A and B are shown apart, each in its own frame.
Chain A
Amino acid sequence: MTVRSIRFRLTAWYAGLFTVVAVALGALLFVHIKSYLEGTLLETQARRARQICDTLVANLGRTGEAYVAREVAALYDPEKSDRFIRITAHDGRLVYLSGPPFSQAFDPAAVPAAPAGAPAAFTRRERVAGEPALLIAAARAGAGGTSYLVEVGTSAAPVESMFRHLLLLLGLGLPLVAVLAASGGYLLIRRTLRPVDQIASKAEQITQHNLSERLPVPKTGDELESLSVALNRMITRLDDAFLNSKRFVADASHELRTPLTVLRGELESLVQEPGISAAHRERVGALLEEVERLSMIVERLFALSRLDAGEAQSEWVRFDLAELAATTAGQMALLAEDRRIAVTCEAATPVPVDGDRSRLKQVVVNLLDNAIKYTPEGGAVRMRVFGGQGLAVLEVIDTGVGIPSEDLPRIFQRFFRVSQSRAQYPEGAGLGLAIVESICNANRGEVEVESAVGKGSCFRVKLPLAA
């Protein structure tokens, strides 16, 4: 799965969005609950501080400080209920200080004094190092000309431990949620996109040779169904266009034959007329050569259109490709000898192939002819035939001029010619290799080429090896 695939991106977005929402929700919950709980606790402390002010400190002038201290200890029992209570006179004199709580959550003596100049009622958090925070509410009351500060506090330990648990829960739960979201999203997207893979792999298989085939249409009623239907309509239009152009080539080459017959016949009878001068005979001869070339192009186009129409399977036989190559090399030896080119054929063992023997012979002839044509005098053409891994391979290797790499992809196209060869061999038409490829394809094989300019070329024909 690549990073740019829709499956990956959608899954990532899905999981990412889910995680962000979950984190935000968790954080909001955390902050909100924390402030609510602490607020509630502080409110309770404040109420209690107010109560002590109103009921006890206000009457201090009458009852005395010792009484108040006793009453507070008896009524509120701060040690048992984990509470901190401190009453301080205006001049800093301590009227009452609760003892250490049973839970040992804090040390009352270590709680710092309230900051000077504080308002009549306020709240604060005190944290003594190494201990949970202390939530303190303070209230002021005056009695007998002295102002007293009543501080009531409670440990935040239960709240803090609860938040630690909540944090732990969120910390463990969030990744789990993210993983679940990612895998769930992935599975869902994969199921939705499975038809896309099927359509893509089928589309890869469709070439100009099997345009009659169609893409699978998922019956999902969604965008993918309408996409594959639209693509299929496009393939139908392509198929029609290809058929039209093929039919055009077949019709055109067919229709050209009759005028060519007349042209050729008339010129032939003219050139053999007794009274014709040598100069005219030469010129008519030149015309005849062009007619012959035209006829050859028409023949080859017609042969190609027949191959396109799939008529190659008509004469299917089993034969030895090695023997065919050796025989053909022998038949063409003189052509090579004439240019002082050595043709060798390496074929150690029989290589059985099923196919149209005479057409495949044409492949060997065309490839050898090219190799001889484009190899400088004194060069060598080597042919190798071997079988293995279900393939019958025929290689024609020359030490010729080679093909520029920018021309290699187009070398099998109809009428394509390497510009240099057009100047050197004007009689060709650029159809020989197109025929080679068409014949190979019609025989369930393929042809490929490797070439280096100045070093030579290697054409490799691969056919299915007969069992």
Chain B
Amino acid sequence: MRILVVEDERKVAELVARGLKAARYAVDIAPDGQAGWAMVNTYPYDLVILDLSLPGMGGLELLRRVRRRDAQVPVLILTAKDATASKVENFEAGADDYLTKPFAFAELEVRVKSLLRRGPVSQGGTVRVADLEIDRLTQQVRRSGRRVDLTPKEYGLLEYLATQPGRVLSRTMIVEHVWDESFEGLTNIVDVYVRHLREKIDAASPVKLIHTVRGVGYSLSEDSAT
């Protein structure tokens, strides 16, 4: 899988490229719109990550050109602007997804993965992490075969953590996925719910699944070293 990162801020570009390379993607960096356009025309990319505010040719103009040439390649917009009006404009110009700075790298990785897979992660099926079983159809949760009763919010939180096992998810990401944008900045609500979830999932078991990574967030995995 080959990804093009069009970003004029060298440090941001390097950060994104380094992380994606670590996740075993091939990554190219274009520092401006002209270079980005030249590279899109040279290599067949599976995904383009595009910063909107670029010197010379703007991100939006590049996006339009890419869309005229190739309607298929997914484009993820990186931007510092998140006004609703520009959001609508971006999607109209053909963006597939959208991330505002400052973003957590884990969030970027989730988006990239989902865009490359094309379409959302399947809604059905059973998710298993160690002896934790989540039936996504009936929304039933079992730990060591014992049924655990969760409130809808607790279930949402557990499902979000369990579908990205081993990945540290920031509280902001959790708030955005499980609650909604109105709760932005109210990350202490995540701590409270995680504590309740721990009592129900982990308290009775010697193997703890929910881990806290200070300053970053929470993860769910068998491996306690995360």
Chain A interfacial positions (CB closer than 8 Å to B): 254, 257-258, 260-269, 271-272, 281-282, 284-289, 291-292, 295-296, 298-300, 302, 306, 311, 314-315, 328, 331-332, 334-335, 338, 358-359, 361-362, 364-365, 369, 432
Contacts and interface: CB of A to CB of B under 8 A. Distances in A.
A287 B84 contact: no
A365 B182 contact: yes
A257 B182 contact: no
Nearest to A294: B102
Nearest to A274: B225
A162 B195 CA distance: 109
B192 A338 contact: yes
B207 interface: no
Contact of A268 (B83, B100, B106): B106
State the 10 A-B residue pairs at the shortest beta-carbon distance, nearest first. A288-B215, A285-B214, A285-B215, A260-B102, A261-B102, A361-B182, A257-B101, A265-B15, A257-B80, A362-B182
Nearest to B100: A257
B184 interface: yes
B25 interface: no
A306 B184 CA distance: 16
A300 B83 CA distance: 13
A267 B215 CA distance: 9
A314 B83 CA distance: 10
A258 B18 contact: no
Given A265-B15, A268-B104, A296-B185, A334 B215 contact: no
B181 interface: yes
16 contacts: A254-B80, A258-B12, A258-B101, A261-B101, A262-B9, A264-B102, A265-B16, A272-B226, A282-B214, A286-B215, A289-B214, A292-B172, A331-B183, A334-B153, A358-B180, A365-B182
Contacts of A282: 214
Interface string B79-117: 011111100000000000000111111100000000000
Contact of B188 (A258, A306, A335): A335
A204 B78 CA distance: 44
A299 B215 CA distance: 18
A292 B215 contact: yes
B215 A287 contact: yes
- A263, A268, A298, A362, most chain B CB atoms within 10 A: A268
A432 B186 CA distance: 10
Contact of A262 (B12, B84, B215): B12
B192 A331 contact: no
Interface string B171-182: 110000001111
Contacts of A315: 84
Interface string B208-219: 000001111000
B215 A332 contact: no
Given A266-B15, A300-B185, A314-B84, A281 B193 contact: no
A205 B46 CA distance: 57
B168 interface: yes
Contacts of B58: none
A17 to B, nearest CB: 65
Given A269-B18, A358-B181, A365-B183, A261 B12 contact: yes
A219 B195 CA distance: 71
Given A258-B9, A271-B215, A334-B153, A311 B101 contact: no
Contact of A311 (B19, B84, B170, B195): B84
Nearest to B151: A334
Given A258-B9, A334-B189, A361-B182, A268 B105 contact: yes
Nearest to B214: A285
Contacts of A298: 102
A328 B171 CA distance: 19
B196 interface: yes
B66 to A, nearest CB: 23
B14 to A, nearest CB: 9
Contacts of A286: 214-215
Interface string B17-31: 011000000000000
B11 interface: yes
A185 to B, nearest CB: 58
B83 A306 contact: yes
A106 to B, nearest CB: 106
Contacts of B213: 271-272, 281, 285
Contacts of A272: 168, 213, 216, 226
A311 B85 contact: yes
A358 B183 CA distance: 10
Given A254-B81, A292-B170, 9 more contacts: A260-B101, A262-B9, A265-B19, A282-B214, A288-B214, A300-B185, A358-B181, A358-B182, A361-B182
A287 B215 CA distance: 7
Contacts of B19: 265, 269
B189 A335 contact: yes
A260 B192 CA distance: 27
A298 B80 CA distance: 11
A268 B216 contact: yes
Contacts of A265: 12, 15-16, 19, 104-105
A369 B168 CA distance: 26
Given A257-B101, A258-B12, A334 B193 contact: yes
Contacts of A311: 83-85
B106 to A, nearest CB: 7
B13 to A, nearest CB: 10
A221 to B, nearest CB: 46
Nearest to A336: B192
Contacts of B189: 332, 334-335
Interface in B149-203: 153, 168, 170-172, 179-189, 192-193, 195-196
Contacts of B106: 268
